[in-house]
Amino acid sequence: MRQPHVDDFVRLTRDIPELSLHRGEVGVVRSTWFAPTFAYEVEFHPVGLDHQTRALVLAEQLEVEEGSLLDSDALVGSALAGAE
């Protein structure tokens, strides 16, 4: 698995209860920190909240999301609805 880069979509692999972030939530890497340890600043938009949450997250708490984050069936359904 490759390491995240700025602007990559990433998924949490474990909860961060102090920030109300849950395993499986998707965020965007906004910066990389190198000291005192390697970490990523990730921006999340938690469901049900009207604000963003930024967190410093270690590499082992993330996995990079490859490919589209959108469900292709949802895209087809919305395209068909717009054609009516």
What are 8-29's pLDDT values in tens digits? 999 999 999 999 899 999 999 9
Give the alpha-carbon dihedral of 12, 40, 46, 1, to 10 degrees.
-30
- Better pLDDT: 75 or 47: 47
- Bridge partners, 53 (sequence order): 44
* Mean pLDDT score of the chain: 82
Q: What is the pLDDT of residue 71?
A: 53
* Residue 64 scores a pLDDT above 90: yes
Rounded Cα gap, residues 8 and 31, in angstroms? 10
Question: Cα-flanking dihedrals φ and ψ of residue 76, to 5°?
Answer: -65, -45
